[in-house]
Amino acid sequence: MDLRKKIDDIFADYQRDLGRLVSIPSVLEEGGDAPFGANIQRALEEVLKISEELGFRTFIDPNGYYGYAEIGEGDEMFGVLGHMDVVPAGDVKAWDSNPFELVEKDGFLVGRGSSDDKGPTLAAMYALKTLLNEGKTLNQRVRFIFGTDEESLWRCMNAYVEKEELPTKGFTPDAGFPLIYAEKGLIEFMLYSHQMSDVRLEGGGALNAVPSQATTDYDADVAAALDELGYTYTVDGNDLTVEGMAIHAKDADKGKNAIVYLAEALHKAGKTNDMIRFIVEKMSNPNGTLVFGEVEDEVSGKLMLNVGKVSFRENVQQIGIDIRFPVTYPVENVKELLTKDAHKYEIVVELYDYLKSIYVEKESDYIQSLMKAYQDITGDTVSQPITSGGATYARAMDNVVAFGALLPTGLKTEHQVNERISIEDMKVAMHVYAQAFLNIVIK
């Protein structure tokens, strides 16, 4: 069987179905009839419809928290975990095309969710479908589990774990190849100050994305401060908006945080309050050195800190922060040192979310079977299992690891403007997934 040719043949169908998913702006919306908003519910229903068309049995949680598609028979079950929610598009004008329309351009498929995580999840499903189309037989059930709250609080996976059967082993196609064996701890906080202040500062959204914009009322002194600091901004009526560069919070030190930039300018111009001082004096270093000192380990690298959201209203100033800390660094230290510094500014700290770090033995038979699939298809025997600051569904269940879909040479665009996947790279990823399924779940 020429597996690569079969993938080429089926790719047009994959692209069509990915377009169906990308067209749904499945961004978190609290407070409606569906737990995470009508659009996320639509995306969940659409991926289940696609699954049925591919021959899978499907189930949707009556409360709308998750769904799954299953194929095969037997007591043992292999899991593939993906998510249908996406982060907001950000500044739509900065995109070269509609964020919620899958566009093919220069060898890439462009659209929000194309790389995180609609594209990779669907690619793994199509990889398995390619094998089954060729008459291959499963030695166990394979279940694709679709989450809906991955970009926020993981309430979807919490509900699934509480109510459903857990896989014996599995992977999540929501990171990079060859394989991630360790993930930093993740902790998020909401911080509040109740100082009387008329300073306006708004910006950001998802805590796990470095904010690309932050806005205040136009003020000549603030504009002058921004010019002196060398930060980019635009003026539209009374709105002065600072431009940053979005990137995933796990790589916060590679982005440009618009909230921090604007806070620095406001402070420099004398338009300040306790929260602005706290942002400038304690939150402005993306490695958290102003609060925690130099924190790094050999396994997972440096601590990352992201001010992901800010909202000032009359006598309430709020920020949301995301911290990724090394696997050997105690979470108690994070809580203690942050709270200690915040209290000096009369700021209240509330825990928003916490996911423990993971560290999996690289030499297990399962890990080696995944590595062999990657190496056999790509020929890359140099790249080794890696660590990440990202939070993938690998943390949700035992014996699950992050496996692709981004190749080591691929372009990382998740959470960014013009999010995209290379068509050629995705075909390679589908081939790797097909080989992994051959190694593990095919008779």
Whether the upstream peptide bond of residue 17 has omega within 30° of 0, thus cis, is: no
Give the single-character DSSP code of 272.
-
Active site residue 150: yes
157: left (phi over 0), alpha (psi -120 to 50) or beta: alpha
Give the single-character DSSP code of 279.
I
Rg (CA), the chain: 22
Q: Which amino acid is at 187?
A: I
3 state DSSP class of 29: coil
Active site residue 332: no
Structure tokens at 350: 């509330």
Structure tokens at 195: 């100082």
Choose the catalytic residue: 149, 150, 322, 419: 150
- Asked if residue 250 lies in contact with residue 414, where contact means CB atoms within 8 angstroms, the answer is no
Choose the catalytic residue: 46, 70, 85, 116: 85
- The 3-state secondary structure of 138-199 reads ECCEEEEEEECCCCCCCHHHHHHHHHCCCCCEEEECCEECCCEEEECEEEEEEEEECCCCCC
Residue positions annotated with a catalytic role: 85, 150
